[in-house]
Amino acid sequence: GAGVSQTPSNKVTEKGKYVELRCDPISGHTALYWYRQSLGQGPEFLIYFQGTGAADDSGLPNDRFFAVRPEGSVSTLKIQRTERGDSAVYLCASSLRDLDYNEQFFGPGTRLTVL
């Protein structure tokens, strides 16, 4: 079946603007993660959804970042008042089970550039 998809693949915006990044997980996967990855670094956890609810949002850097998953499938990461330091690749991953046995399958990422 289809893997995790993310749109757009690239997003260029100006400082101060609002952006939305979308993630379509693998069908039937109940768990969904957002990460961001800066050049030369490993992915950094942002938020974890179990179904429709955010079970762990401890990685969101500040209140400019928000994510939703209203129907337990597609998720949107929203960034308000973007800053140049938000530039990174934003990765989404999904997994079949939401407890301990949870292999994560990653999407191709959205490269965000804030000018």
Partner 1 sequence: GIQVEQSPPDLILQEGANSTLRCNFSDSVNNLQWFHQNPWGQLIILFYIPSGTKQNGRLSATTVATERYSLLYISSSQTTDSGVYFCAVARTTSGTYKYIFGTGTRLKVLA
Interface with partner 1 (CB under 8 A), residue from 20, 72, 76, 105: 105
How far, in Å, CA of 84 to CA of 113, rounded? 8
Question: Is 66 near partner 1 (CB under 8 A)?
Answer: no
How far, in Å, CA of 14 to CA of 27, rounded? 34
Identify which of residues 1 and 42 has a Cβ nearer to partner 1 in the complex.
Answer: 42
Question: Is 62 near partner 1 (CB under 8 A)?
Answer: no
Interface with partner 1 (CB under 8 A), residue from 33, 34, 65, 90: 33
Question: Is 27 near partner 1 (CB under 8 A)?
Answer: no
Question: Is 102 near partner 1 (CB under 8 A)?
Answer: yes
5-9 contacts, C-beta under 8 A, 24 or more apart: 5/107, 5/108, 6/90, 6/91, 6/92, 6/107, 6/108, 6/109, 6/110, 7/110, 8/110, 9/108, 9/109, 9/110, 9/111
Interface with partner 1 (CB under 8 A), residue from 16, 56, 61, 113: 56
By the criterion CB under 8 A, which residues form the site for partner 1? 31, 33, 35, 40-45, 48, 50, 55-56, 58-59, 89, 91, 93, 99-106, 108-109
